[in-house]
A = this chain, B = another copy of it.
Amino acid sequence: MAATFAEVRANGPLVQCITNTVVTNFTANALLAAGAAPAMVDIVGEAGDFARVAGGVLVNLGTPTPEQRTAAREAVAAAGEAGTPWVLDPVAVGALQVRTELAAELVEKHPAAVRGNASEILVLAGTGAGGRGVESTDTPEAARAGAEELARRTGAVVAVSGERDLITDGETTVLVSGGDALLTLVTGAGCALGALVTAFVAGRGGHSVLTAVTAAHVAYGLAAERAAEEADGPGSFAVALLDALHNLRQDDVAAGARVEVLEPAE
C-alpha cells in the first residue's frame, strides 16, 4: 500500500476526467491535493486525443449530456487503442435510463477498474435494480458475489464503496476499513474517490491494479479520518479533507492501512 502511495506521489500522473458538473471542481482539487495533475477534457474532438497522452482516464456518468456521452465513447476508444488505463464510475445507474444504457456499453470496453456503491455495482453485474439516485440501498458485503462476477467477466478490478469498501479482481477480494460518515454529507465524495482510483492506477508503476485501487481507498479513508477530527460539520470537513490528502505521507499509509483479505467464497 505505502509503496504504491509513494510511487503515485513521485509520478504525478496526468488524469483526464470526464465527470459530472456537480463535482468537477472538488474532483480536480482532490487530484491536485493527492499529487496528481487533473485535466477535465470532455469535449468531442479533444477527449480522444487527450486520452492517448493521459496517464489515466476517469469516465463518471453523473450528468451525462449528449456531448459528454460522445466524448466518453471517444475517450474510451482512444484509451483502448493507446493502452491508457481508464476507470468507470457508473453514478446512479439502474433507475435512470440514459446512463444505465451507456454504462452497460462502456463496462464491456475493458476498464481497468470500476468504482461505485453496492447498488450501482449490482446493476452492472446484472443482479440489482439500483438505489435511490446516488444513494445505495445495499451494503458492499452484500454485493460481493456480484462484484467478483463482474470483475471476472470484464477483467476490471471492481471497488464497492460503503462503510467498509470491498475491492476485488475476481480472484482476490479485500475489505478496506476507514473513512468517516461525514463523507456521505459531501457531494462528490464518492466521485473524487473514483478520480483518486484513476490516479493510483495511472501512477502505480510496477504494482498491480488491485493494489493500486486498494491503496487509493486506504489513503482516502485515512485522510477522511483526519479531516473528521478537525471538522465542525460537512463544510469544514470537505475543506479539511483536501488538506489531509495533501499532507498524507507514506508512513501514515503504512501505519494506518486496515485491509482484510477475505477467505475465498465457496
Chain A residues engaging chain B, CB cutoff 8 angstroms: 14, 20-26, 28-29, 32-33, 37-46, 49-50, 53, 62-67, 92, 95-99, 132-135, 184-188, 231-236, 238-247
B-chain residues with CB within 8 Å of residue A64 when the two chains form the complex? 43
Task: Report which of B37, B42, B95, B184 forms a contact with A53, defined as CB distance below 8 A.
Answer: B95
B-chain residues with CB within 8 Å of residue A242 when the two chains form the complex? 233-236, 238
Closest to A69 in B: B43
Task: Report which of B44, B62, B96, B245 forms a contact with A50, defined as CB distance below 8 A.
Answer: B96
Extra 7 A-B pairs, beta carbons < 8 Å, given A21-B21, A50-B95, A235-B240: A29-B187, A39-B134, A43-B98, A49-B96, A236-B239, A236-B242, A238-B239
Closest beta carbon of chain B to A72's beta carbon, Å: 13
B25–A40 contact, CB under 8 A?
no
B135–A37 contact, CB under 8 A?
yes
Task: Report which of B42, B63, B233, B244 forms a contact with A233, defined as CB distance below 8 A.
Answer: B244
Given A25-B22, A235-B240, A187 and B38 contact (CB-CB distance below 8 Å):
yes
CA distance A41 to B256 in the complex (A): 37
B-chain residues with CB within 8 Å of residue A37 when the two chains form the complex? 132-133, 135
A45–B235 contact, CB under 8 A?
no
CA distance A67 to B65 in the complex (A): 8
B43–A65 contact, CB under 8 A?
yes
CA distance A186 to B246 in the complex (A): 11
Task: Report which of B14, B96, B185, B239 forms a contact with A41, defined as CB distance below 8 A.
Answer: B96
B-chain residues with CB within 8 Å of residue A65 when the two chains form the complex? 43, 67
B-chain residues with CB within 8 Å of residue A44 when the two chains form the complex? 98
Closest beta carbon of chain B to A103's beta carbon, Å: 13
CA distance A152 to B92 in the complex (A): 39
Closest to A237 in B: B243
Pairs A–B under 8 Å by Cβ, sample size 26? A14-B132, A14-B133, A21-B21, A22-B24, A22-B40, A29-B185, A32-B185, A32-B186, A32-B187, A32-B234, A33-B234, A41-B133, A42-B63, A43-B63, A43-B64, A43-B96, A46-B96, A50-B133, A232-B240, A232-B247, A233-B244, A233-B245, A235-B239, A235-B242, A236-B239, A238-B242
Closest beta carbon of chain B to A41's beta carbon, Å: 7
CA distance A38 to B133 in the complex (A): 8
Closest beta carbon of chain B to A183's beta carbon, Å: 11
CA distance A186 to B95 in the complex (A): 34
